[in-house]
Amino acid sequence: MSVSQKIIDETEQYVLHTYNRFPVVFDHGEGVRLYDVDGKEYLDFGAGIAVFALGYGNKAYNDALKGQIDALIHTSNLFYHRPLLDASKKVIRHTGLSKVFFTNSGAEAIEGAIKAARKYAYLKDGSNDHEIIAMNQSFHGRTIGALSVTGNAHYQDPFKPLMGGVKFADFNDFESVKAAVTDKTCAILLETVQGEGGIHPADPQFLSQVRRVCDEKDILLILDEIQCGMGRCGTWLACDQYGIRPDILTLAKALGCGVPVGAFVLNEKAAEKSLMPGDHGTTYGGNPFALTAVSAVFDLFEKEKILEHVRELTPYLEMRLEELVSKHDFLAKRRGMGFMQGLVVEGRPVGEIVKRAIEEGLIIFSAGSDVIRLVPPLVITKEDIDEMVVRLERAF
């Protein structure tokens, strides 16, 4: 029996089976490659589901975290600390918004955004019957609140009844959004690029129209950039490429590049007229260790010119993926932005392709029921892209 199989068998005795994990036990990583306990090497085009943007073994990132471990890890949010100042300044500078609240995860960021939107509406009229419009085929997390605004029955049905006051419209269909708006609507929530739903970027006109109706009716626009933000699309935020600013923004994943941290960020209007002392809190959110990671990520993105790198290589990545589409009949099309790309598969099970790719030493994921998702570390090279294509074709 291999070392991997022994660890897998023992783990299954103790861990609740909520994941159908691939039979791989990772040991360490270097750059954009991972190695399992049996010594096999994998090219990583999944980045821990769009998390590990800087790749593995970045010395400056690791040293920053090691230094903070020796200094201070936790204080609670009843006190101030320097990493809170440093990280919050950088978040506000790069988002163009006003105030930030740090969480432990993306789902918690969504929960905070929902609460802020409802409190904003409550302070206007004292009513508790406000509604949020979310999108079909969206994904925002697995807590009850986040599930309630996730437009996919597969995730919702076993856990109903969910949070009330949620309507669903169709992504990139403004008329369906407009039809759902009433005097009770307090927020419209959407991903700038739908991730789990199949890698669907927002149509520029659609996003502009949603922003306009929010302005006209004093509805808060919440953009979920947990997966598509933090440089993955070639700009700090995907919405930067649309010339749109939300009232509330959610971030996580690459915000900490592996350390569990998320955030919801509010513009001045939403920040001044929503959550007050006592309305929201977290024991671990925004602790010195996590915010040292956030601060280091922003610094390294700038120092290593990560955004410029993504923009420079995106045309090459898209070209190589388009070549695959042209070559293989079962690939219908490519879609995506930056280093968040999807290949639409017809007539073959995506799960089998993903499984076979991992056997070939290529880490990829699925999105929706028919899309191969590629969300690599943002430091990949042309050579890595070429190697990805070779391994993916072997998997085909």
Q: What is the pLDDT of residue 72?
A: 97
At a CB cut-off of 8 Å and minimum separation 6, what does 374 contact? Answer: 45, 46, 317, 321, 336, 339, 340, 341, 342, 343, 364, 388
Q: Token digits for 20? A: 């159908």
Q: What's the pLDDT score for residue 2?
A: 87
Q: Are 367 and 342 in contact (CB under 8 A)?
A: yes
CA 270 vs CA 18, 115, 209, 284, 302: distances in Å: 37, 11, 20, 24, 29
pLDDT score, position 119: 98
For residue 1, the model assigns a pLDDT of 79
Look up the pTM and report it: 0.97
Q: What is the pLDDT of residue 91?
A: 98
In a structure prediction context, what are the per-residue pLDDT tens digits for the chain, which is 396 residues long? Answer: 788 999 999 999 999 999 999 999 999 999 999 999 999 999 999 999 999 999 999 999 999 999 999 999 999 999 999 999 999 999 999 999 999 999 999 999 999 999 999 999 999 999 999 999 999 999 999 999 999 999 999 999 999 999 999 999 999 999 999 999 999 999 999 999 999 999 999 999 999 999 999 999 999 999 999 999 999 999 999 999 999 999 999 999 999 999 999 999 999 999 999 999 999 999 999 999 999 999 999 999 999 999 999 999 999 999 999 999 999 999 999 999 999 999 999 999 999 999 999 999 999 999 999 999 999 999 999 999 999 999 999 999
Domains of the chain, earliest start first = 3-54+305-395 (3.90.1150.10), 60-303 (3.40.640.10)
